[in-house]
């Protein structure tokens, strides 16, 4: 069973498990947490306290535990696990991919220390949403596309190494398609190799959140990696368009690299004109598209679209780093620009008043 309560000050959700945990236990916990959140908007943290963590009575109960963490992750920034249980590290590792929260393991009896840590949180971590494509068909070629690995991996570690919390999302949720061309030896980098060996990152990637479950108010910035997939889905997705418009209206920066500036195609400014009109922008160039032999396959070319929308398009020589910042909008030209674009996003966040 689960005992739960709110510990004040700070609105910390305390959970004390005993006996093998069931699906019904987590359903009750979700109802309790949601009732509090409906009134207060956020939780000050999650305190899980049990001398001997009892485990779960079934795989379904474990799934319910992880689902609770996933569904509430944007409202919880820190989790303190206070227990002497030998499976405590397993609980920590199982939980980590499903939340953007910091997780700390403390010995049983250290409740006061855990509460002090939770109360000093103050939501200082920058919350970055990374939106990936769910589209996997490369036009009518019969070949696969998706997101480009370097354009996820490099920004992911720029953000994580800076202490930011990173949430991954896609239109359909779940595992987004990886462009197989980005997973070969020729496209390998230190960031892609680090990502491929990172179990936590890969579990997070396998469980991206559906765009329909997200709101701009829960994040400080959004980053769009490329790959050809976004030209088919994110460019036309009304939820993505609304998200970008809401982020910018709230004074929060938006970044897109390589083909992902295609997601800006129908985005409008507060004044009703196309967002990129008059802005300094970049994206995958026509010569780069020709170099990969896909000019006649893609639904539109990024350079052409940005120019047609009134953007002040610029580019570097093919495959060289090129990043443009105009107000709250950051764009990068190609895979090599993805890490620098993430750095530019962090720099902009440091300059933007909270």
**Shared domain check, 343 and 227:** yes
CATH code for position 69: 3.30.750
**Shared domain check, 281 and 231:** yes
**Shared domain check, 157 and 104:** no
The pLDDT value recorded for residue 62 is: 75
The pLDDT value recorded for residue 90 is: 66
The pLDDT value recorded for residue 165 is: 80
**Shared domain check, 268 and 242:** yes
Please classify residue 259 by burial: count the beta carbons closer than 10 Å to its beta carbon, then call 0-12 exposed, 13-18 middle and 19+ buried. Answer: buried
Judge whether 19 and 54 are in contact, CB under 8 Å.
yes
Which residue ranges in the chain fall short of pLDDT 50?
none
Please classify residue 270 by burial: count the beta carbons closer than 10 Å to its beta carbon, then call 0-12 exposed, 13-18 middle and 19+ buried. Answer: exposed
**Shared domain check, 236 and 147:** yes
Domains in the chain: how many in total? 2
**Shared domain check, 114 and 133:** no
The pLDDT value recorded for residue 304 is: 98
**Shared domain check, 78 and 182:** no
21: Cβ–Cβ under 8 A, 6 or more apart, which residues? 1, 2, 54, 55, 56, 57, 61, 65
The pLDDT value recorded for residue 124 is: 53
* The last residue of a domain, from among 119, 141, 165: 119
Separation of alpha carbons 252 and 352, rounded Å: 8
* The last residue of a domain, from among 99, 119, 139: 119
Mean pLDDT, the chain, rounded, equals 89
CATH code for position 334: 3.40.50.880
Domain region containing 322: 127-351
Please classify residue 131 by burial: count the beta carbons closer than 10 Å to its beta carbon, then call 0-12 exposed, 13-18 middle and 19+ buried. Answer: buried
The pLDDT value recorded for residue 65 is: 77
**Shared domain check, 245 and 161:** yes
**Shared domain check, 111 and 134:** no
The one-character DSSP state at 292 is: T
**Shared domain check, 337 and 189:** yes
Find the helix or strand (DSSP H, E) in which 16 lies.
strand 12-17
The pLDDT value recorded for residue 312 is: 98
**Shared domain check, 135 and 109:** no
The pLDDT value recorded for residue 97 is: 62
Share of the chain above pLDDT 70, in %: 90
**Shared domain check, 153 and 278:** yes
The pLDDT value recorded for residue 269 is: 95
Which ranges of 162-237 would DSSP assign to H, the alpha helix?
A: 190-196, 199-206
The length of the chain, given as a count of residues:
354
* The last residue of a domain, from among 119, 137, 152: 119
The pLDDT value recorded for residue 8 is: 67
The pLDDT value recorded for residue 61 is: 79
């Amino acid at each position: 069973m689960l005992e739960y309560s709110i510990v004040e000050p700070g609105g910390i959700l305390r959970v004390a498990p005993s006996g093998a945990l069931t699906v019904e236990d987590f359903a009750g916990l979700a109802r309790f947490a949601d009732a509090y959140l409906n009134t207060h908007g956020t939780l000050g943290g999650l305190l899980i306290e049990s001398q001997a963590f009892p485990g779960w009575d079934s795989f379904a109960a474990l799934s319910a535990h992880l689902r609770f963490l996933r569904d509430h992750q944007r409202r919880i920034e820190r989790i303190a696990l206070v227990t002497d249980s030998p499976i405590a590290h397993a609980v920590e590792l199982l939980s980590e991919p499903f939340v953007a929260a910091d997780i700390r393991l403390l010995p049983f009896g250290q409740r006061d220390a855990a509460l002090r840590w939770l109360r000093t949180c103050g939501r200082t971590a920058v919350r970055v949403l990374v939106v990936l494509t769910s589209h996997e068909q490369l036009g009518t070629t019969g070949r696969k596309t998706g997101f480009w690995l370097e354009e996820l991996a490099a920004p992911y570690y720029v953000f994580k190494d800076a202490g930011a919390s990173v949430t991954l999302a896609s239109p359909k949720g779940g595992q987004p398609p990886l462009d197989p061309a980005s997973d070969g030896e020729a496209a390998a980098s230190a960031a892609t190799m680090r990502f491929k060996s990172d179990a936590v990152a890969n579990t997070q990637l396998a469980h991206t959140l559906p765009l329909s479950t997200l709101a701009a108010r829960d994040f400080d910035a959004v980053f769009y990696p490329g790959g050809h997939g976004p030209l088919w889905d994110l460019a036309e997705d009304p939820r993505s368009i609304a998200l970008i418009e809401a982020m910018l209206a709230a004074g929060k920066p938006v970044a897109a690299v390589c083909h992902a500036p295609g997601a800006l195609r129908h985005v409008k400014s507060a004044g009703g004109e196309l967002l990129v009109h008059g802005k300094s922008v970049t994206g995958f160039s026509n010569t780069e598209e020709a170099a990969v032999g896909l000019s006649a396959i893609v639904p539109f070319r990024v350079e052409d679209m940005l120019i047609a929308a009134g953007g002040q398009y610029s580019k570097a020589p093919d495959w060289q780093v090129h990043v443009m910042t105009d107000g709250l909008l950051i764009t990068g030209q190609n895979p090599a620009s993805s890490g620098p674009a993430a750095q530019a996003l962090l720099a902009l966040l440091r300059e933007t008043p909270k």
